[in-house]
């Protein structure tokens, strides 16, 4: 193949027309400058209007364009083609493990259902102060590396435990957020949250495979958060919460 | 399996016991020499070997139960055929009962051999 031609192998599936998914090969002239995979998709869409994918902010903030790029999950908008090209070839597939709606668009219902289970909001029944619930800078620092998650699902859909039990194992994204609220000193439902996570599947099905850490486009570490949840679960719950709600 | 905490502790503590037992076995081998006479008369060895066998059965069962709940599910077997997927729960129960039965038989047999 000429070195100025890119070969893009793309997963295609339109349930209204196709009985089975298939891989369609596209050839496109290699752009003069390094572009993102999302830009490459735009160029391909000019060739073939039927290609479907999600996108929105195109700068790694909305998390819409998570996909499997040459075997590794990532956000198309912040992945330069130079970083994934192998012998001038790129293979694009939908995020693995979730039902495909069409082409690179997956049904995220199961993913969001797990997120909903961890109750991703502050629970504090004490009277709210006039302005806001304050935290010390040290307590606020505990949330760094947790709140930045954009729910792109790259981590959960790269996790074999989530592939096999997406209805029981919460997955790294939801667990990162679960720890975000467990670590928040303003949240007073720590024991209840831990009780909800105490079954053998929700957290304990994580075997530390670390795919989540490997693929997170924001550089977060869900595995570390899961380890901290496990430590909290294995401790005596009475030790975790003091009377004023602060976490030991 | 209701408690993740219990299974987690069982797996880890049994693994610690296995290592300790192997160290004890090695120590006994180098200090006393392991003869049939020694094995059949030493109650500490017989008791620790019995505990080893029981814990090994529990440890293996938790591991195999985890494998079963990963791979013998409606979703995973459904990739092969929808019929298999529909009967995944029954197949997994059969798989689990086979291991419980085998584990109980092996444990009973070994403990009988050790003590009688």
Taking only the tens place, the pLDDT of each residue in A175-213 is 999 999 999 999 999 999 999 999 999 999 999 999 999
Model confidence at A246, pLDDT cuts 50, 70, 90, reads very low
Do the Cβ atoms of A200 and B2 come within 8 Å?
Answer: yes
Q: How close A164 comes to chain B (CA, Å)?
A: 5
**b/e code B32-55 from CB counts within 10 Å (16+ = b):** eeeeeeeeeeeeebeebbeebbeb
Q: Shortest CA distance to A204 belongs to which of B53, B65, B97, B75?
A: B65
B89 touches chain A (CB under 8 A): no
Q: Collect all residues of chain B within an 8 Å Cβ-Cβ radius of residue A201.
A: 4, 69
Contact yes or no for A160/A209 (Cβ under 8 A) = yes
Q: How close B75 comes to chain A (CA, Å)?
A: 7
The percent of residues in chain A predicted with pLDDT above 90, rounded, is 89
Which of A160, A200, A226, A237 would you mutate first to test chain B, the one with the most B CBs within 10 A? A200
User: In this predicted structure, what is the pLDDT of residue A61?
Assistant: 96
User: In this predicted structure, what is the pLDDT of residue B55?
Assistant: 95
């Amino acid at each position: 193949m000429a070195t100025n031609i890119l070969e893009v192998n793309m997963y295609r599936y339109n349930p209204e027309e196709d009985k089975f998914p298939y891989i369609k090969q596209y050839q496109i002239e290699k752009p003069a400058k390094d572009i993102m995979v999302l830009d490459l998709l735009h160029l391909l869409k000019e060739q073939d209007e039927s290609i479907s994918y999600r996108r929105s902010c195109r700068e790694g903030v909305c998390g819409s364009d998570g996909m499997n790029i040459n075997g590794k999950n990532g956000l198309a908008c912040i992945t330069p083609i130079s970083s994934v090209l192998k012998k001038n070839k790129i293979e694009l597939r939908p995020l693995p493990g979730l039902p495909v709606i069409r082409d690179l668009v997956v049904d995220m219902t199961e993913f969001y259902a797990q997120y909903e289970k961890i109750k991703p909001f502050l629970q504090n029944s004490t009277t709210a102060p006039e302005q806001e619930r304050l935290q010390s800078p040290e307590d606020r620092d505990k949330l760094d590396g947790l709140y930045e998650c954009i729910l792109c699902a790259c981590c959960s859909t790269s996790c074999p435990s989530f592939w096999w039990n997406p209805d029981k194992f919460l997955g790294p994204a939801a667990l990162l957020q679960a720890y975000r609220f467990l670590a928040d000193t303003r949240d007073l439902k720590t024991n209840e949250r831990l009780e909800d996570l105490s079954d053998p599947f929700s957290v304990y099905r994580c075997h530390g495979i670390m795919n989540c850490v490997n693929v997170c486009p924001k550089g977060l570490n869900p595995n570390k958060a899961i380890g901290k949840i496990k430590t909290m679960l294995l401790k005596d719950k009475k030790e975790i919460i003091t009377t004023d709600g602060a976490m030991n | 399996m209701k408690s993740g905490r219990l299974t987690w502790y069982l797996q880890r503590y049994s693994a610690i016991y296995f290592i300790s037992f192997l160290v004890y076995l090695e120590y006994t081998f180098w200090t006393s020499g392991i003869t049939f006479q020694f094995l059949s008369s030493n109650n500490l060895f017989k008791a620790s070997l019995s505990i080893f066998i029981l814990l090994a059965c529990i440890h293996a069962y938790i591991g195999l139960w985890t494998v079963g709940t990963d791979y013998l599910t409606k979703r995973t077997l459904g990739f092969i055929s929808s019929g298999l997927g529909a009967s995944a729960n029954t197949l997994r129960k059969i798989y689990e009962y086979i291991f419980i039965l085998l584990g109980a038989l092996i444990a009973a047999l070994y403990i009988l051999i050790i003590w009688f």
